[in-house]
Amino acid sequence: MSVVKYILPVLAAAGAAQAQCSTTATLTIENPSDASALSSCRTFSGNIALATSVEGDITIPGVRSIDGSLSAVNVTNLNTISAPQLEEIADTFELRDNQNLASISMDSLTDIDTIQWVGLANLRNLGFAAGISSVSVVNIDNTQLSSIDGIGVDAVNEFTLVNNGLLTQLQLDLVKVSRTLIISGNGEDLMVQFPLLETAQNLTFRNCSDVKLPSLESVNGTVGFFSTKFESFGMPNLTTVGGLLFQDNLNLANLSLPELETVGGGFKISNNPDLLELDFPALVTVRGALDFSGNFTSVVMDEINLVQGAFNIQSSSDEIEEQCDGFKAMSGRNKPIRGEYQCVPGVETPGDATTNPTRTSSGSSATDTGAAGHLDVSSTAAIGLFGVLATMFGLL
């Protein structure tokens, strides 16, 4: 009986320890002692959440793997969160609306499924010494981070980096983006470099001072550049893209796409006042609408053989009149330019195909509104570019 007497408390303690390392729902940490109680758990099965009443610094010791999510939402008095031994978060690492959170320290962390950090107005420091090398979704929105060093992945499904006003440098060795990458509204002088990026689904860049994509070869969806500050831009290896848009890039003067052959949706260039010469020497096919408006003195597409959607070029310059005549000869139902055709030099205020151009000089406008098709950004042919980007930013 004496043996049983001592064994039963031991078994009870072991059972309690086991229960402490798992939950079918969410374990809520109310204070530092609750976090310290996890120190014997190598793996925690379930979700861990910080209570909104938590204050100061929270350290989760011992745990190497969370088979679920780790979250802190509206924990307004949380200052730091650390987990020195944590290597993996199988689901989501969510930090949202924690106004005083200044630092994250997880020096062993390498694998996360999803990063959701939103509304962290004082977050300035990341401690990921081992480096996060595997993550599916990254969303970092409204922080004070000046760097995301420690997040280094070669493939993601989604990557969103917006409203981080102190961020001025971003270099990642991404090779593939399976769904969406959005860089928008960060530091005024943000320089973006993805030297190894080869393929992507959708890419959007806004308010960047520089963007380098030297290895990009194909994009199944859309690529859009909005309100950037760079003077020159090129994608030297891009051959195919689902849709392409350059809009409101007020300093852009040189655009180089020497290998671009196919645009699977729409191709739009608008309100880039310093961009005077367009030359796409390898461009053969645009399956959606081609819509260029600006101050162009030259538009050269010597290899163009098919524009399935509507064709609109409007320029404030008279110098493209001869080129418009050449494009006019290619327009018609059974000719390379098959949609509604319009090419107008000397326009007072160049606009897209929904704009009725007013010329500042006399002469042929080289237009034809009787050709088949219509430049409709909601059309099936153009939806890849214009639909997605309009949805993201309400641009059109």
Q: Torsion over CA of 206, 210, 211 and 215, rounded to 10 degrees?
A: 170
Q: How far apart are CA 31 and CA 249, in angstroms?
A: 50
Dmax (CA) of the chain: 112
Number of Cβ atoms within 10 Å of the Cβ of 266: 29
Do residues 275 and 253 lie in contact, with contact meaning Cβ atoms separated by under 8 Å? yes
Could you report the per-residue pLDDT of 204-241, keeping only the tens digit for each?
999 999 999 999 999 999 999 999 999 999 999 999 99
State both tokens at 49: 């959440």
Number of Cβ atoms within 10 Å of the Cβ of 322: 10
User: What is the bridge-based pairing of β-strands 65-67 and 88-96?
Assistant: parallel
Give the amino acid at 321: E
State both tokens at 349: 């205020």
Do residues 371 and 332 lie in contact, with contact meaning Cβ atoms separated by under 8 Å? yes
Please report, in tens digits, the pLDDT of each residue of the chain (396 residues total).
Answer: 454 444 444 434 444 444 489 999 899 999 999 999 999 999 999 999 999 999 999 999 999 999 999 999 999 999 999 999 999 999 999 999 999 999 999 999 999 999 999 999 999 999 999 999 999 999 999 999 999 999 999 999 999 999 999 999 999 999 999 999 999 999 989 999 999 999 999 999 999 999 999 999 999 999 999 999 999 999 999 999 999 999 999 999 999 999 999 999 999 999 999 999 999 999 999 999 999 999 999 999 999 999 999 999 999 999 999 999 999 999 998 999 999 999 999 999 999 888 888 887 544 445 544 443 333 333 333 333 434 444 333 333
